[in-house]
Chain A
């Protein structure tokens, strides 16, 4: 089998052997949707149901979870342990290692998105997205924006511990301040401005819009912001990505 596929397959298998990340990626969002669901009840949010506003946003949160933890922290750990360096001394081309991890991340995210969707579909009357092509486009754009962003964040970290710390900090910050879980309207004006600096805000906006009200091309600002973050993070992550924690 091709070495790219082999690395990808191995990493997917390894993901499922780590019970902690499986919990945070698959079970945590479902539990949170259930908890928030019992808070919101049948209340309408800007004329929309709870599930059609908040389930897309949990899918958005998971893009971030996967890019920070499944991709970034794992690669920081591989770098610290010398696993990436070990790969450097085999004939496999370096881009294949990064591609394998990216594909693995996309697969894991895909599965988690399906789990969240099905949970919403069966228990919270979640409808299929109104602009389904746009929703897929929005997801793809968000992955392109967040995956290298996650790599960049963890490349700047010295070791696994600090990578996990950076990831947790950003995850929590965005979880609560981007409007993904708590409605921004109830927050002070200052925090509403803060939300707009956080990349997740735009992912949440775009996913909610394409799921319920308008296609991709009617949300030019969100698309443009995500596109620019994507370009910047790809540029920066190729510049800063390191294979080894040691000096050469």
Chain B
């Protein structure tokens, strides 16, 4: 696959603080690429350096074969951007905003389709300030993509959206990709990254902690979970079972992270039989990106 974005050893400092430290990755044409991490991890800084509105302190960045810092003007016509805090003029009507932004681009033949896909027809005469969060999001998304950009940058697009609006957003993002755009999206919702992204870069404290397909990352992590209910199990004994990495207990619901599912299970039931514990609702669980994330964080803290 051709890469449309290449980042090598990217560095950015604010005063003495390293916001981004030696981050490298590349994004292929047509990918939905997620940059994920907690708030303040350096996601926005990274994406804004790619967009060309933030200067980097070191490393190389190429977007569509150009250095965004030097060629922002040229790049602007070929990328689409949605900021984290979505704001346009409060008293502007939706149709006026679309009309205004259309006048900035020579090519916006797909606007009609986009309006239909986003369901904006019914909101054309509404002032931006009167729209709900989800609709505001759709409007700014339309403004970011009405010129069919080659790359679309979305910074925390699902922040503050209800679950339904979030699902609709994923649907729209897939539509944009199918239309030919490469998507770069930041999020701190792991579930979103897992369901939406082809590949993810996990950033924590400005450092790249993991890079790859969500499924692959979870498998590489080699951490599996088993869970069950028990009223009489002993936490101390459980945590010393072979293979156990960590253990959570919420009012008798146990969730055990283990490297060896089979072995830990065997010993769990063995101890249970010997000590007369009642074990109910036992099941194996796959780890989620959330778990991976907590795991990385944990590693960071103990290192």
Contact = CB atoms under 8 A, between A and B. Distances in A.
Contacts of B100: 6-7, 10
Interface stretch (A24-32, A80-88, A177-185, A209-217): A80-88
Interface stretch (B80-88, B112-120, B186-194, B274-282): B80-88
Nearest to A7: B100
A1 B102 CA distance: 10
B105 interface: yes
Contacts of A221: none
B89 interface: yes
B10 to A, nearest CB: 15
Majority secondary structure of chain B interface residues (helix, strand, loop or mixed): loop
A246 B235 CA distance: 50
Nearest to B14: A247
Contact of B103 (A2, A78, A83): A2
A160 to B, nearest CB: 12
Contacts of A14: 89, 91-92
B76 A91 contact: yes
Given A6-B99, A81-B87, A86-B81, 6 more contacts: A81-B85, A82-B83, A89-B52, A89-B76, A90-B101, A91-B105
Contacts of B76: 89-91
23 contacts: A1-B103, A2-B103, A3-B104, A6-B99, A10-B89, A10-B100, A14-B89, A14-B92, A17-B91, A81-B85, A82-B87, A83-B88, A83-B89, A85-B83, A86-B81, A86-B87, A86-B88, A89-B52, A90-B105, A91-B73, A91-B104, A91-B105, A92-B104
Interface residues of B, number: 26
A73 to B, nearest CB: 14
In order of increasing CB-CB distance, the 6 nearest A-B pairs are A81-B87, A6-B103, A17-B91, A90-B104, A3-B103, A89-B81
A192 interface: no
Contacts of A82: 83, 85, 87
B101 A89 contact: no
B96 interface: yes
B103 A91 contact: no
Contact of B96 (A10, A81, A86, A248): A10
B53 A244 contact: yes
B51 interface: yes
B83 A88 contact: no
A78 B101 CA distance: 16
B65 to A, nearest CB: 18
A106 to B, nearest CB: 20
